Amino acid sequence: MPERFLGGGAPGKGLPMGAPKPKGSGRGLIIAISIIVVVGLGVVAALFFTDIFNKNAANTNNTNLVTNTANTNANSNSNANTNANGNANLNSNANTNSNQNGNLNSNGNVNTNVNAPTNQNVNSDPQAKSSADADKDELTNAEESIFGTNPSSSDSDGDSFLDGKELKLGYYPLGAGKLVASSLVSTFTNALYGSSVLYPRQWVTVARSSTEQIFTNPTGDENITLAVYDNPARLTAKQWYMQQTGSVVDATGLVDVASWDTLSTGVISPNGLVYYFANAGQLYVISLNYGLKPTVDSRATFEMLARSLTVDPTKVNVNTNTVNANANTNSVGNTNTAGNTNGNSNTNSST
């Protein structure tokens, strides 16, 4: 039989169909195939991981690009913040402007200025000051001319008393004696109430009514008014004054004063421009008006006229008796009632 039919030649070849394979040849094939598979899987795994690493690398690079872009945006945002700070500064300027409201505080000053004149009008007159007095004798230069005293000498008669002091106390400033006996003054008397005052002879006097007299200086820019009022309640001058003004004026600001004869007592208003005297049943109000002038020319003259006030006691007694007569009438009426009782008693007795 030919050798090829007897199993000769290369292993695995030339075997007849259905003949058993030689022992050990199949195991080698399996091992070879396993190796090939393992190697193939390794190659595939290597390729897979390489691809992943490459992708990660690409992602990492992309991330860096994105990060850089983000940083660029961050810088842009930083610039935006800078602009925002600029706006904040603008707001600060606005706050500075709001401080202009502080100027509204000037309204407080306006209120103060308004209140101050109101208080001064009640308690004192800031313009009620005497005009120029060259020789400092308490007579203004205008009064020196009226009374004929020396404007360059404070003591015209050399008696050691100031000319103004003598005039205010009722003495003659040019020599010895009382002022009333001199030719410098005249006397006015209200016939109804019996009140009299002295006034400069050069002044003009006019009756406004039966109870009011006005004395005017030669230039016509100042005048003194004497007014008389009934005082049936016998109030003091201070009581009457406070009743007229209410609680507007503090009574402690009133200065007590008396006439030269001390029979009329009263007070001076806080501004020194009004004298109030009470005498029995009458009130006497003597006031000085100097118009719109900044100073007063006739201060000493005003005091002289006011304190020279005298009142005829017979005029005062007439008014007082009238009040008593009314009281007596009531008393007589009571007596008549008693007489009627006695008459009835006699009638019963006769019966």
**Rounded CA separation 181/145 (Å):** 19
- CA-based angle 303:197:320, to the nearest 5? 115
**Rounded CA separation 59/131 (Å):** 106
**Rounded CA separation 23/146 (Å):** 174
Q: Residue 126 has what pLDDT?
A: 52
In 3-state terms, what secondary structure has residue 218?
coil
Residue pair 223/217 in contact by the 8 Å Cβ criterion: yes
Side-chain-side CA neighbours of 319 within 13 Å: the count stands at 18
Q: Residue 41 has what pLDDT?
A: 77
Phi-psi region of 19 (alpha: psi -120 to 50; beta: other; left: phi over 0): beta
CATH topology of domain 184-320: Protein Transport Mog1p; Chain A (3.40.1000)
Q: Which residues contact 20 (CB under 8 A, 6 or more apart)?
A: none
Burial label for 33, CB within 10 Å (0-12, 13-18, 19+), is: exposed
In 3-state terms, what secondary structure has residue 79?
helix
Q: Residue 55 has what pLDDT?
A: 55
**How far apart, in Å, do the first and last CA atoms of the chain sit?**
219
**Rounded CA separation 173/177 (Å):** 9
Distance of CA 301 to the CA centre of its chain: 39
The one-letter amino acid at 337:
T
Task: Kindly state the DSSP code that residue 278 receives in the 8-state scheme.
Answer: E
Name the residue among 87, 204, 201, 79 with its Cα closest to residue 146.
201
Q: Residue 26 has what pLDDT?
A: 64
In the chain (351 residues long), the average pLDDT of successive 10-residue segments reads 47 47 61 78 67 51 43 45 45 45 44 36 57 96 96 95 97 96 96 95 96 96 97 93 78 89 94 94 96 94 98 69 42 42 43 28
Name the pairing type of β-strands 310-311 and 195-200. antiparallel
In 3-state terms, what secondary structure has residue 176?
coil
